[in-house]
């Protein structure tokens, strides 16, 4: 049985002024015991997809099931199977970590004795035992994210949804949380996470779906996605914008990336001399050239036509069409 089965789900928000298609058409399947990553920029529809799958938003069209349970018609049964850690959770900062765990356990129906036992287990699991009796408002950002992760595990869910789990964390805290997520996967928990960090998707996800403007534009393991664009990536840099423009007219299959052109070919090292000869013949001066194996960054650029930029600071503005390549 699939852990998650999503078929052509859509979400449309309608107001008197406008109609917005936040999710246009998203389909994917998640096997039990794997980490599945939804990778994309801010505003791509990742969080909206998670909200629909966790019954916090209704599905406009399409269908989804969690362990064979229909999300739309059996929402209560779905919530008993899942844990959710969203970006903005509104954790009570006045309580201590221990009090928060104990209270949450009680809300899930644990007895007082069992709540105390479960609280101790979860504090240890997410590495907060020493800080258990401190008020949450004194916790660092990384500690709060680990606390949130622990709270989502109180009722031992089979499937865990994590929305941007490491946004805003420093590299050290991010690495600690990655280790916790891997440990949960290894214990049998299925994890679906959204991220705008290429490194995070590459490090954690067994499989990845790239989402752009409400659509899944690529899906597979990290290695499969990298292999899908084939061969090597040749990067050409130029001394002037005029030379860049001329080179782009010469190599119509190239993708512009800031002041560089990137061309995906087989056996890149042997192709470089020919490209340089063509450019020189046209009077185009090349300042630098290199060949490398494709990265997840290259895959994202290939399938969307732009690089996943600004991941450290969420961007509210809509991407400009002029940066896009036709699909």
Q: Is the pLDDT of residue 239 over 80?
A: yes
Burial bucket for residue 149 (CB in 10 Å: 0-12, 13-18, 19+): buried
Choose between 304 and 5: higher pLDDT: 5
Query: What is the pLDDT, as a whole number, of residue 320?
Result: 38
Query: What is the pLDDT, as a whole number, of residue 319?
Result: 38
Burial bucket for residue 127 (CB in 10 Å: 0-12, 13-18, 19+): middle
Torsion sign (Cα): 177, 183, 185, 189:
negative
Instruction: Give Dmax (Cα) for the chain.
Output: 81
Distance CA(12)–CA(7), nearest Å, equals 16
Distance CA(208)–CA(215), nearest Å, equals 13
**Tell me: the pLDDT tens digits for 164-193?**
988 878 888 888 889 989 999 999 999 999
Mean pLDDT for all residues in the chain: 88
pLDDT band at 88 (very low <50, low <70, confident <90, very high): low
The third-level CATH classification (topology) of the domain covering 229-323 is Alpha-Beta Plaits (3.30.70)
Choose between 255 and 317: higher pLDDT: 255
Q: Is the pLDDT of residue 262 over 90?
A: no
**Tell me: the pLDDT tens digits for 47-67?**
999 999 999 999 999 999 999
Segment (H or E) for 123: helix 112-125
Query: What is the pLDDT, as a whole number, of residue 311?
Result: 42
Query: What is the pLDDT, as a whole number, of residue 316?
Result: 37
Query: What is the pLDDT, as a whole number, of residue 323?
Result: 35
How many angstroms separate the Cα of 187 from the Cα of each of 39, 218, 325?
24, 28, 42
Predicted TM-score of the model (pTM):
0.80
Segment 25-37 mean pLDDT: 96
Segment 227-232 mean pLDDT: 82
Choose between 26 and 265: higher pLDDT: 26
Q: Is the pLDDT of residue 90 over 60?
A: yes
What are the b/e assignments for 207-229, b being 16+ CB within 10 Å?
bbbbbbbbbbbbbeebeebbeeb
User: DSSP letters along 28-78, please?
Assistant: EEE-TT-EEEEE--TTSSHHHHHHHHTTSS--SEEEEEETTEETTT-HHHH
Query: What is the pLDDT, as a whole number, of residue 294?
Result: 86
Choose between 41 and 269: higher pLDDT: 41
Of how many residues is the chain composed? Answer: 327
Query: What is the pLDDT, as a whole number, of residue 89?
Result: 63
DSSP designation for 136: G
Residues forming beta bridges with residue 218, ordered by sequence position: 210
How many angstroms separate the Cα of 42 from the Cα of each of 74, 115, 310?
30, 38, 9
The angle subtended at Cα 302 by Cα 165 and Cα 217, nearest 5°, is 60
**Tell me: the pLDDT tens digits for 204-213?**
999 999 999 9
Choose between 281 and 91: higher pLDDT: 281
CATH superfamily of 4-94+135-225: P-loop containing nucleotide triphosphate hydrolases (3.40.50.300)
Distance CA(45)–CA(11), nearest Å, equals 9
**Tell me: the pLDDT tens digits for 302-325?**
888 888 864 444 333 333 333 333
The domains of the chain are located at: 4-94+135-225, 229-323
**Tell me: the pLDDT tens digits for 113-166?**
999 999 999 999 888 999 999 999 999 888 888 898 899 999 999 999 999 988
Q: What share of the chain is helix, strand, coil (3-state, %, to 5)?
A: 35, 25, 35
How many angstroms separate the Cα of 269 from the Cα of each of 232, 264, 273, 290?
8, 12, 8, 8
Segment 224-253 mean pLDDT: 88
Residue among 170, 151, 172 nearest 160 (CA): 151
Sheet holding 232-238, edge to edge: 255-257, 260-265, 232-238, 286-292
Percent of the chain with pLDDT over 70: 93
User: DSSP letters along 207-247, please?
Assistant: EEEEEETTEEEEEE-HHHHHHHT-SEEEEEEESSHHHHHHH
In this structure, of 29-38, 162-171, 219-228, 315-324, the range with the lowest mean pLDDT score is: 315-324
């Amino acid at each position: 049985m699939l852990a998650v089965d999503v078929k052509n789900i859509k979400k449309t928000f309608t107001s008197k002024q406008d109609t917005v298609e936040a999710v246009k058409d998203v389909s994917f399947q998640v096997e039990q015991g794997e980490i599945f990553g939804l990778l994309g920029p801010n505003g791509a529809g990742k969080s909206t997809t998670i909200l629909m799958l966790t019954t916090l938003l209704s599905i406009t069209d399409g269908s989804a099931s969690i362990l064979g349970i229909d999300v739309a018609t059996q929402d209560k049964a779905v919530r008993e199977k899942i844990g959710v850690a969203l970006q903005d959770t509104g954790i009570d900062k006045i309580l201590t970590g221990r009090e928060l765990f104990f209270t949450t356990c009680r809300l899930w129906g644990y007895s007082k004795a069992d709540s105390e036992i479960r609280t101790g287990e979860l504090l240890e699991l997410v590495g907060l035992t020493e800080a258990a009796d401190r008020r949450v408002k004194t916790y660092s950002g990384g500690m709060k994210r680990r606390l949130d992760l622990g709270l989502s595990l109180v009722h031992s869910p089979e499937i865990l949804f994590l929305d941007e789990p490491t946004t805003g964390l420093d590299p050290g805290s991010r690495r600690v949380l990655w280790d916790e997520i891997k440990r949960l996967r290894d214990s049998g928990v299925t994890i679906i996470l959204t991220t705008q960090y290429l490194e995070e998707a590459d490090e954690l996800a067994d499989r990845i779906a790239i989402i752009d403007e409400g659509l899944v534009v690529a899906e597979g393991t990290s290695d499969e996605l990298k292999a899908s664009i084939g061969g090597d990536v040749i990067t050409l840099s130029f001394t002037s914008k005029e030379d860049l423009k001329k080179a782009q007219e010469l190599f119509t299959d190239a993708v512009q990336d800031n002041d560089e052109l990137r061309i995906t070919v087989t056996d890149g090292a042997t192709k470089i001399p020919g490209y340089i000869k063509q450019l020189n013949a046209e009077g185009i001066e090349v300042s630098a050239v290199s060949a490398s194996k494709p990265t997840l960054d290259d895959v994202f650029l290939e399938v969307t036509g732009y690089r996943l930029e600004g991941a450290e600071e969420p961007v509210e503005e809509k991407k400009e069409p002029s940066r896009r390549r036709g699909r």
